[in-house]
Amino acid sequence: MNRTDLETYLGEAYSVSGENLFVRYPGFKVFRHLESRKWFAVIMDIPRKNLGLDGEGEISVVNLKCDTRLIGSLRADPGIFPGWHMNKAHWITVSLDGTVDDEKLKFLLNMSYELTK
């Protein structure tokens, strides 16, 4: 799933739209839980080097809250990283370049939404 598809999915599945909270980073979008108003997804374009990836340019990613019991095993999967710029004990960063299949990403989104109730 790419960034555009993810934003569409978030609107359809959770009835939310992204908020641009950072003037300095207009491409960063925060998605909040409808009830608690807590962040459950943050979509960003960040330099590949910030995740330890080779190559120049940026990569689209989403930060998601994650069950602490799963974080270690999930980080072993391609395309899943410690939460960039977040508490790494509670958040993961997922690449939006097709490395992580759509069903797994939807599972992780749902977990993040539930954890932020």
**φ, ψ at 66 (rounded to 5°):** -140, 145
pTM of this structure: 0.95
| Cβ neighbours for 12, distance < 8 A, ≥ 6 positions apart | none
Number of domains, the chain: 1
Mean pLDDT (10-residue bins), the chain, 117 residues: 96 96 92 96 96 94 97 94 93 96 97 96
Domain span at residue 29 reads: 3-115
What separation in angstroms does the CA of 80 have from each of 15, 19, 31, 63?
A: 25, 24, 19, 10
CATH number at residue 33: 3.90.1150.30
| Cβ burial, residue 61 (10 Å; 0-12/13-18/19+) | buried
